[in-house]
Chain A
Amino acid sequence: DIQMTQSPSSLPASLGDRVTITCRASQDIGNYLRWFQQKPGKSPRLMIYGATNLAAGVPSRFSGSRSGSDYSLTISSLESEDMADYYCLQSKESPFTFGAGTKLELK
């Protein structure tokens, strides 16, 4: 199975900060990488697909990038509504696998 190693597990940050969350794939997954935001008690929300493409309705302060087997989600200027858990997902190969998640919280 492809392992997705997500870091950090917890990210304290201040409003206005630029923050980055990373997932490293254990095998080549090309650009078959999605990012999700999940708030307490809610369903996951697709933020990024194809590693770099912004999903519909997602604010432009969110972006996705890739460097080799490292995939990153960046928020350019943190807003209060961005406090949530974030997960990556590889869909290159079954079984699809999620990263362990990152809890983004106010410092």
Chain B
Amino acid sequence: QVQLKETGPDLVQLTQTLSITCTVSGFSLTTYNVHWVRQPPGKGLEWMGAMWNGGGTDYNSAFKSRLSISRDTSKSQVFLKMNSLQTDDTAKYFCARQFQYWGQGVMVTVSS
């Protein structure tokens, strides 16, 4: 069955870099797109970007050049990296297959 699971740190220091891995099973990354979405505590959903099945990427310009999405198809993993973290980057980060299947999310706190 289709599964996605995010793994990453609980806590990241201010101005440091966040790295989260989305490990998928039950489908191929070369067939389906994977999106990253985040949700600050008590707030709404925000689309961050996507890894397209063809290997291209798309980013929300709100993150300017801070955000990078990549993948390793042999390991069925999609990676999110975001640098220069601020306290308002504290959020739950989700990966999702074409918005139909979602991971459980990983809660990341940015601490000073």
A residues in contact (CB < 8 Å) with B: 1, 34, 36, 38, 43-46, 49, 55, 87, 89, 91, 94-101
Judging by beta carbons under 8 Å apart, are A43 and B100 in contact?
A: no
In the complex, chain B residues whose CB is within 8 Å of the CB of A94 = 50, 58, 60
Q: Are A87 and B103 in contact (CB under 8 A)?
A: no
Q: Do A89 and B47 have beta carbons less than 8 Å apart?
A: yes
A40 CB to closest chain B CB, in angstroms? 10
- Interface size of B in residues (CB-CB distance below 8 Å): 20
> Which of B's residues lie within 8 Å of A, judged by CB?
35, 37, 44-47, 50, 58-62, 94, 96, 99-100, 102-105
User: Complex formed: what's the CA distance from A11 to B103 in Å?
Assistant: 28
Partner of B61, one of A45, A46, A95, A99: A95
CB-CB under 8 A from A99, the residues of chain B are: 44
Q: Which residues of B contact A100 (CB under 8 A)?
A: 44
The reply to whether B99 and A91 form a contact with Cβ atoms under 8 Å apart is yes
A44 and B45 contact, CB distance less than 8 A: yes
